Structure 1
């Protein structure tokens, strides 16, 4: 018997080569609207800094714009890199989003800075701030909760909003923290799949029921690009592959155009690195992807899947979202 699960979308607000940031954001709105039209459950954005190909640095600001251009789909962060921020400020920002858009808001939190060391210093943060992540998560949850009436410091907006908090991770650290706090957990298998099995086992074995969650809830991330034929999907995915090569080389730039000749772009060692990092990718026609995706879901038993397609061609992104309705693996809203 097949099991259906919710399907969500993770976006980086890509800025393709030849486009302005404003044009990239306009395309991002189109993407969110198509995700909603296709019946997806959530539309999340990720915080990154000092990256000219990503327009979601001011994550809560852009989420507010997305909220105003959609009606039903849940919107949230996947994630906010909490070491970059004071917990009170994030409580205020997401409390504001909740005041604007009601119970559509999610708050996913990550421990990585989401940038390089120089930018981290420009953010007025220090690398050791990440060591406070467990304490900062709990402080943030306190500010969002119901018990701050007698506190000298309260989040307005934010207090009593009870915005759902998720822990993001790519190792057993985040898995263990999410389990200890009784929170839902998202694993970054779309670019760091190495510890997927261990992290899921850690989370599920150590999970403690809480006021937030009675039993473990896992969302896994994957790259998903559907097209009318396999070759078209694989061609457009070369944009994501090139971006990953450039990132590992320390090069910056907007999202590159696709290519028919990746062998002229990467070395064999780089190809191996990218293939390993992006191994949780489903890049083909619906007919080719469906059994592979079903096998992945059957193996890891996620409660939800969140997919991303960080590519250059907007028409291909929108077509991929249209085609998700044909997978028949997911509970659409």
Structure 2
């Protein structure tokens, strides 16, 4: 039996803006990719909130979710995630109450506690610094979805009384412990911060308390996956991801760069080690190689679901990569 056939695959998309491209092009590519992966059997299509980053177009996350849901028919669509510290909980309740009202049974609300940008941008978003109120904000947000609201006399319209599935996202033990205590599903951002992956998952499973939302732990693991018909071509395509991470390491994020034949000469040994550590949870190569990589990640983490991201410069190659990954779930 193919072990991957038992694990749902989902997609995490940042709507990357490539060098020489535009945000409008990125959105067209996102909508096209969503339609394709729906046909290929993916479970969810999530987009992530980032701000002030030249190569990421998904800042207005709820707006983009609505567009993706409109152009698809059955795939679940959601946030991976909404950065709750940037927003009043009531605003998110109203936005996702609207989305669930428009697309019942198809919307996920994944939540994170990072700002999704630098400090100046976070301040421009009216984020308060100096105190971490994420647990309280989360409780307030979830309260707006309960019949009668959170009891503070404020009501989310739409939102109140609606079933809005909430996921907690994280790259450390904080959200893992909180998700466990609240009995919520947990997604780990191992596609860029794999250091505490196994520790966080162990904590989540060990301390999980069943809830009305979930009776047993539910884990999603993020992974970079770049597949191509040949091993060399996949690694060439992956250099766009490596260059993007290198720019982040240097504090100079930019547009998604085109691939190069080799990273030699583009990074120092220390930078290479840093990028390779950040992209440790990756499967890159020909289909057989990527399948073995995904199987190893699934086995080592015990993931209930894999959420795959692939920032590939060429749209046609990106579609082909996600198609090849989908084929890995089929029985062989």
TM-score range, shorter chain: over 0.9
Shift in Å at residue 312 of structure 1?
Answer: 1.2
Whether 2:319 is the aligned partner of 1:318: answer yes
CA positional deviation for 1:316: 1.1
Residues 281-296 of structure 1 mapped to structure 2, 5 A cutoff: 281-296=282-297
Partner of 1:167: 168
Displacement of 1:265: 1.4
- 1:149 and 1:110, CA in 2 relative to 1: closer, same or farther beyond 3 A? closer
Deviates more, 1:40-49 or 1:252-261: 252-261
Q: Does 1:49 align with 2:24?
A: no
User: 2-side partners of 1:89 and 1:12: how far apart?
Assistant: 22
Mapped partners of 1:16, 1:149: distance in 2: 43
| Alignment correspondent of 1:23 | 25
Output the aligned Cα RMSD: 1.4
Q: Match of 2:88? A: 86
In the TM superposition, what are the counterparts of 1:250-329 in structure 2 within 5 Å? 250-328=251-329
Aligned-pair CA distance for 1:146: 2.2
Residue 267 of structure 1 deviates from its aligned partner by 1.0
| Mapped contact 1:9–1:44 kept (Cα < 8 A) | yes
- Deviation by residue 1:7-43 (Cα, 9 ceiling, x = unmatched): 0000000111111111111111111111111110000
**TM-score, normalised to structure 1's length?**
0.96
Q: 1:122 pairs with 124, 129, 134, which one? A: 124
Moved more, 290-299 or 266-275: 290-299
Following superposition, the deviation at residue 261 of structure 1 comes to 2.3
User: What is the deviation of 1:327?
Assistant: 0.8
* Distance of aligned partners of 1:180 and 1:150 in 2 relative to their CA distance in 1, 3 Å threshold: closer
Name the structure 2 match of 1:223: 224
Distance between the aligned counterparts of 2:147 and 2:45, measured in 1?
A: 27
| Deviation sequence 1:78-105 (CA, Å, 0-9, x none) | 0000000000000000011111111100
Distance in structure 2 (CA, Å) of the matches to 1:33 and 1:264: 39
Give the whole-Å Cα distance in 2 for the aligned partners of 1:97 and 1:80.
14
Cross-structure match for 2:192:
191
Gaps of 5+ in 1: none
Q: CA deviation at 1:149?
A: 8.8
Give how far 1:125 is off: 1.3
User: How much does 1:289 deviate?
Assistant: 1.6
Contact 2:148 2:155 in 1 (8 A): no
Tell me what 2:12 maps to: 10
Q: How many residues align?
A: 329
SS in 2 for 1:264: coil
**Separation in structure 2 between the aligned mates of residue 110 and residue 94 of structure 1, nearest angstrom:** 15
SS in 1 for 2:79: strand
CA distance in 1: counterparts of 2:211 and 2:190, whole angstroms: 26
Q: Residue 216 of structure 1: CA displacement?
A: 0.4
Which of the residues 85, 107, 110 maps onto 1:108?
Answer: 110
The SS at the match of 2:33 is helix
Segments of 4+ in structure 1 off by > 6 A? Answer: none
Note the C-alpha offset of 1:151.
5.2
Deviation at 1:122, TM superposition (A): 0.9
With 321-330 and 56-65 compared, the bigger mean Cα shift is at 321-330
Provide structure 2 residue ranges, at least 5 long, that are not aligned to the other structure. none
Deviation at 1:135, TM superposition (A): 0.9
| 1:148 match | 149
- Conserved 8 A contact 1:146-1:162: no
Q: Secondary structure at the match of 2:104?
A: helix
- The alignment's TM-score, normalised by the length of structure 2, stands at 0.96
Partner Cα separation in structure 2 for residue 329 and residue 198 of structure 1: 31
Counterparts in 2 of 1:216 and 1:125: CA distance versus 1, 3 Å:
same
CA contact (8 A) 1:226 1:323 kept: yes
Q: Is the 8 A contact 1:59 1:80 kept in 2?
A: yes
